[in-house]
Amino acid sequence: HPPVRKNPFCSIATAHRISLIDSLANRLGMNHYDRVKSYDVPNTAICLPSIPKFEGLEPDFLAIDEIRQTLEFLHDSGGLIETPLKVESQLIEWINNAGLTIVADADFNQASLDWLMTNCPSMPIYWLDNGKPKRNGKTIHRIDGGDSIEKLINRAIDAVKAEKSAWLAFDSETQAKRAYESILATGIDSELVLLLTGDNKGEPRQALFHANPDAESRKYQVIIHSPVISSGVSILTEFDFVGAGFYGLIPPNELLQMIARLRKANNIYVAIVPSNNHDRPTDINDLIQGHKTQLTRINTNGFIELSSFDSFRLKLMATRNKALNEFEQQFLILSQLKGYSVKDAELTNAEFL
């Protein structure tokens, strides 16, 4: 329904990653939460952990980008959100009081819908569907086998030796660093190679990249990154070789977002290391019972009742564990659902050389 006008009109956008907030602020012409002088400035893009600071705002319009990942991060941030219950409470209040709330996510799922219906029961929900996915003209070349990561890196090394450019994405920071060392071992000028991980996020070159990723990417022959880049970044610069190495550490939907950052990459070589871990718990009742057992060790009063926050967190855990247990299968299925063609890589054909 139409938003109720206030004076002044207030709009808020939020998401779980700073890179997304940078993009939202720029694209929507909003204030950036980290650059305002006070916490009562309307029309601000706010990173999820900082929401409580802006509790005095009453948005007429609220936008939540990447709501699935935003909710997953809210309920399991690894300590990065100091007061998750307060953040959730404020977010729910904003949704229920805003005249209009728009949530966006290419991977919107049942869990996200359940959260909205549970916490905003009186709000009508309208679904905007883009229809059946169309072929996007892009191909994922699947590299299999236990040495698939090594094959992928060697392919990138071949590109470097041929004075071509390469972009490599990994779901493991450790492997990203190893690939970086392997590329430097070719003798390439280190100034032409950029490593982007959580460990070096404070370095000037990475800060410049996040501020203007497309322009900065043109400065480098090789860019290697961990999941520090997975959404909120759009690269139009073309690289001769684009590859990704996955150990199944992160759900397939997030990794598909990662490889989609290069908008003009039509051929993406993906190495998937087979995992022996297929028995992560997926039964929600087992997870609830396990959590209650843990709580009993702390609270010996007997009766344990889970909060709605913990119940939803365990539901998300079950969904995530299922995706990780079936990582390769789900990754390949999701790839095709999103319009990619999938085929086995023919590494003997060095078409980028």
User: Alpha-carbon distance 257 to 15, whole Å?
Assistant: 15
11: nearest Cα among 53, 63, 54, 51:
63
- Model pLDDT, residue 294: 67
Is residue 270 within 8 Å of residue 246, measured between CB atoms? yes
- Model pLDDT, residue 296: 61
- Model pLDDT, residue 1: 44
User: Alpha-carbon distance 116 to 98, whole Å?
Assistant: 14
- Model pLDDT, residue 7: 56
Beta partners for residue 343, in sequence order:
141
Q: Which residue has the tokens 């908008």?
A: 263
User: Alpha-carbon distance 157 to 199, whole Å?
Assistant: 24
**2 prior amide bond cis, ω within 30:** no
Query: What are the average pLDDT values for consecutive 10-residue runs of the chain, which has 353 residues?
Result: 59 91 90 93 95 94 94 91 95 95 90 94 85 81 90 95 96 95 96 92 86 92 91 88 93 90 94 79 77 63 72 88 88 90 79 49
Give the global pTM.
Answer: 0.79
- HSE at residue 145, side-chain half, CA atoms within 13 A, is 9
- Model pLDDT, residue 198: 84
